[in-house]
Amino acid sequence: MIELAAVFAVAGAASNAVGTAFQRRAASTSSRSGFRLLAELARRPFWMIGMCGVICAALFQSLALVNGPLALVQPLFILELPFALLVAAPLMHKRLPRSGWWGVGGCVAGLAVLLIAAAPHGAGAHAPLTRWVPALCLCLGAMAAAVLLAGRGGAPARRAALLAAASATGNALTAALLKSASGTFADRGFTAFLGAWQTYAFALTGVAAVVLLENALQAGPLAAAQPALTIGDAVVSLTLGIALFGEHIRTGWWLVPEVCGGLLIVVGVLVLSRAVQHIAVVPAAPKQRHAET
């Protein structure tokens, strides 16, 4: 079951990367905004392919969370960043810089070392309300605190990192809620799924995470936002998996390779964040676009 969860998680990361790359390719040739942009993009094949990628990613993530621990599934979504670069480079008619290949290698190697050493296991799909209440309070409180700190001004990089950290926390909480809701669907069917509070909670937290991400990308450089987003999601997901669902990871001397793998991922993400700016997978903030023109 864990192997199946890993396969679905990697497929989800790849699908989301394809969706991001194709949507970015479609949007990069339009000068419109708001609903007019959406109406125009809906008629473009590239954008429709991107939407299919996003939908497939959500389905793959649900299947992965049903079959495996949150502490395994969410860290594997780190692969979305290197996948997005590999797909976007030819779409944007650009070459991945040599440093980008080093970043891809660092992310993949670091993730392999981390997950092999940690060996997450114990995938329960449900948690009692006595665990959910403190988890919700801590996650939502941390998101609110990050937003308040970012709203006080300061360097753009600091604001981008804080908002991205809030978005990462929201993504991790959304995944935990989705895991519980998907477990309800698998165990008791669609009617029980619609009656579960987690179903509506993961929709709300998912929207909040997307809004926070958009603000993070507008607030400052991607090189500041992406590490906080990628690493934060994995760390919070690991914590929620242990606290909510009773998942386990190996400790003792295994912590040494786990830390080494985590550091390798951090370095790889930092390198890839600069490569993303080179290829422009993610739309630049309004100020940056104005400066370029």
- For 13-24, what is each residue's pLDDT tens digit? 889 888 877 766
CA distances from residue 284 to 26, 54, 81 in whole angstroms, order as listed: 15, 20, 16
List Cα–Cα distances, 5 to 17, 62, 69, 116, 134, in angstroms: 18, 10, 8, 15, 27
Q: Taking 60 as the threshold, does the pLDDT of residue 130 lie above it?
A: yes
Query: Residue 280 region, left (φ>0) first, then alpha (ψ -120 to 50), else beta?
Result: left
* Measured CA distances, 183 to 62, 67, 90 (Å): 9, 9, 38
Instruction: Output the six-digit token pair for 73.
Output: 């599934």
Crossing angle of helices 156-188/197-219, nearest 10°? 160
Quote the pLDDT of residue 32. 58
Cut 0.85: pTM above it: no
Phi, psi of 248 (to 5 degrees): -130, 150
Q: Is the pLDDT of residue 289 over 50?
A: no
Estimate the share of the chain in helix, then strand, then coil, as percent rounded to the nearest 5: 85, 0, 15
Cβ(260)–Cβ(69) under 8 Å?
no
Residue 148 above 60 pLDDT?
yes
Q: What is the pLDDT of residues 225-267, one digit of tens each?
A: 777 888 888 889 989 998 898 888 888 899 999 999 989 988 8
Q: Which residue has the tokens 């991945």?
A: 96
What is the rounded distance in angstroms from the CA atom of residue 131 to the CA atom of residue 122? 16
Distance CA 234, CA 77 (A): 8
CA-based nearest residue to 73, from 163, 129, 1, 134: 1
63-106 pLDDT, tens digit per residue, is: 898 888 888 888 898 888 888 778 777 776 777 777 778 888 88
pLDDT, averaged across the chain? 82
- Lowest-confidence region among 50-59, 132-141, 162-171: 50-59
pLDDT given at position 45: 80
End-to-end CA distance of the chain: 51
**Does residue 285 carry a pLDDT above 70?**
no
